[in-house]
Chain A
Amino acid sequence: MAEHIKHHDASNVVNPEHAEHHIVSPLEYTFVFAFLLLFTGITVGAAYVDLGWANPVIALGIASLKAVVVILFFMHVKYQSKLIKMTVGAGFFTFFVLIMMTMADYISRAWGTW
């Protein structure tokens, strides 16, 4: 690590964000692992309790939370440069737009009537 910092260019050309390379520690990975297992248990447990409309909301909310934690820590996005963060964010945003546009099309026709 010290090697990388030592060779940073003074004129700030090749690494304008000073994106120092970060190594995620095993302890951090262990916390994430425990978190993911815990929420897997919660989501299974919640599925067997009748909560009406809240059942799918909770299940998908927990899935999204777990996905965000995996992306931020296992996939190191939290420690990446702005370019990578923007790329990931733009990708999910584009996906969201595509889903919403397609959904708007189907929902504004004869939903479920054939």
Chain B
Amino acid sequence: MERYSTPADRPLAVPVWEGQAAFYRADLEFHGVGHRGDSYEGRVFFDAPDATPTTPRELDAGYAGSFYVFGHGPCFGDEGHCEVPPGPIHPFDYRTVHHLAPQSMVVTVTDAVRRTIADGKSEFGVTVVPTNVLDAEVGDILHFERLSLVTYD
């Protein structure tokens, strides 16, 4: 995908208990992250669906943090080399995981979540802008299956 924004009708709930931040740390977990293609930075913003690579990386602008994907690059193999198999081909297949098996990325967003609470919000949206080191948005490189907000108290 070009970029990701949580659907407007399905925001994430702000984790509070009796109106207070009931955690000392909040992580945003991205599961099933693809890593074929170029390396990139996934810039994460809260309540900033129009964020771009030039949006300041500051709490005031909604910036929550980044994850960095080390991309595999193009396929350097024969046909099918970079297609991830669904699992072992039979019970005696002891090979280790495929080199393009999905990964998980964690961004600690404690300050940004505390900010949403301080702003009196009960929910917020997440936007991920895939960006390269030249501050250019890169297209069709961001792929993940699930997003989770996990807090620790």
Q: A and B, one complex?
A: no
Interface residues of A (CB under 8 A from B): none
